[in-house]
Amino acid sequence: MLAVRELELDLDAFEGPFDLLLSLVLREELPLQEVDLAEIIIAFVEHLDGRGELDLDACGEFLVLISALLELKARAMFPEEEAELAELEPEEAAEELARRLAEYRRAKEAANWLRERLDDRRDLFFRIGPAPLAPKAERKLAQQDPEKLAGALRLLAVEPPEPSTGHMALRFPPVSQFLDRWRTLLRRRARFDFDQEVAGLSRVEIAVAFLALLELRKQNEIAIAQAAPFAPIRISRADAERSLSWNVRSA
């Protein structure tokens, strides 16, 4: 087909028209293993896209040719097929391609014949309905009471009650509550573990308690230490940490 003959290839192992590439491969002047068939397919698709029209005949011929090349390349890639490859002469490969093209043309002619028969009989209409001897369809459902169906539909039509979202409301305790709690605790002790003090509280209360710690740290009233990620958080008075740091440097 014209679209296949016009296909110009620029590959690593070959540059020129597709017909010349096919001839070189069949005469074994160009090893098929060095030819990238994927690039050939991409080049053909780009060529068709540049023409702006779909040529089904060219696509069919190209599909047959590229399939034959794929089969030959697949056989050549397996060492155990050397005996069979030795029996495949270039003339035989050319005959195989010609045979497949002939089969494709016969299939195309048969499709054209069927299309012509369909065009000739477009004005004929067929009977629509069950055959005279077709088995009767059985009812899948028992006879239903229309009143029951109407009652079920009336129940579905009732507007559902408004859902309550009261349980979704988050009630945050005041931060000042935990500020007083931590200051009172640090007046009695020099340090404490945060996880132990918030045990039993809700997640919201724990979050507010941690915010209170951050506020105290911002005001430089406490020191926060953690040995490793996810390790217990230890809280101490700021003056206690400075005293401990001074004693360590002095030692």
Judge whether 131 lies within some domain: no
Range of the domain at 228: 172-250
Judge whether 151 lies within some domain: no
H or E element, residue 67: helix 56-76
Distance of CA 173 to the CA centre of its chain: 46
Residues 111 and 190 in one domain: no
Residues 12 and 107 in one domain: yes
Looking at 120, 154, 182, the residue that finishes a domain is: 120
Judge whether 147 lies within some domain: no
Looking at 102, 120, 138, the residue that finishes a domain is: 120
pTM: 0.32
Judge whether 182 lies within some domain: yes
Report the C-alpha gap between 234 and 228 in whole angstroms: 11
How many domains, in total, are found in the chain? Answer: 2
- Provide the pLDDT confidence category of residue 218 given band limits of 50, 70 and 90: very high
pLDDT at 167 over 80: no
Report the C-alpha gap between 37 and 75 in whole angstroms: 14
Judge whether 97 lies within some domain: yes
**CATH number of the domain residue 191 falls in:** 1.10.10.580
pLDDT at 84 over 60: no
Nearest alpha carbon to residue 88 among 72, 67, 64, 109: 72
pLDDT score recorded for residue 93: 65
